[in-house]
Amino acid sequence: MSLEPLGPSGGHSDPRNGIDPDWTDKNWGGSVVDGPVDVMKQVREHKRRGADLIKIMPSGGVLSIGDDPKAQLMTNEEIKAAIDTAHSLGMKVAAHAHGKQAIDNAVKLGVDSIEHGTYADAESYKLMIEHGTYLVPTLLVADQVNETARLHPEQLNPSSAKKALEVTPLMKGMFAGAYKAGVKIAFGTDTSDGVNAHEFALMVGAGMSAEDAILTATHNAADLLGVSADAGSIQPGRYADLVAVKGDPLKDITLMERVDWVMKGGVVYKRAGVSVPQPAVPATTGGSSDDF
């Protein structure tokens, strides 16, 4: 679990972008970092608050107001401070990065994954393979945002709509190039509950095999998260978090969007497409804050 993504003032994660400076919110402080010392402090604070993953925003973004997706907005020193501090605390680091400079520098500095990766090129792929960095391509959010920008631009800030039309069409080609080059790819959508499984069809449509697409959400995701000893494959002693569909998803990957059966921790939660009622959780008694 990550908390607020960390980025610089005016960057993709600054919630104050486009807002009257007289408006403020006490919860806005945790995402804006300026300088390596500030970065280290916030990473440690996120760890204290329960995070086991740090997300950083070294490049501009699409839906944020006014910043440039191609630009590297965190300095190398800030990126390195985030990665080194997080790794020292046993946390992985994911980097939102569209621009090539931010992608390449974050990879060289040891980031665990690149989210989006729009302007990555052959040199970027080579670096990612060399450093073992995962790509999380998020084709679904690109597809959704592009559709909104084309059909309902009034729903977006004009700056965001313009960027969406420029950036999102490039992501499918980037993904195809990374896959062909042999970059490690993990599943991620950056979008809403209930539609995430459509990412499988988008990856297959961009040239990935159905088998490899399924592996992005199982073996590869577990490896990226550092839980592959307990999850990501069907073996004795694993968590027994399983899903099943009617048919062969290697022949029709869209079956992954219609899950028929769900088991979590060895308990069946869905059968024949219908949720299975679970026993009520008994109330606890006599507990105290010293229990742990």
Instruction: Report the catalytic residues.
Output: 55, 190
Ordered strands of the 184-185 beta sheet: 53-56, 92-97, 113-116, 134-136, 184-185
What is the token pair recorded at 161? 């709509």
Spatial contact of 62 and 17, defined as CB atoms under 8 Å apart:
no
Query: Largest Cα–Cα distance in the chain?
Result: 60
Spatial contact of 139 and 171, defined as CB atoms under 8 Å apart:
yes
Q: What is the DSSP letter of 169?
A: G
What is the token pair recorded at 285? 């008694």
What is the token pair recorded at 227? 């839980």
The C-alpha atoms of residue 21 and residue 213 are separated, in whole angstroms, by 45
The C-alpha atoms of residue 12 and residue 129 are separated, in whole angstroms, by 27
Q: Which helix (H) or strand (E) holds 180?
A: helix 171-181
Q: What is the DSSP letter of 35?
A: S
Spatial contact of 47 and 96, defined as CB atoms under 8 Å apart:
no
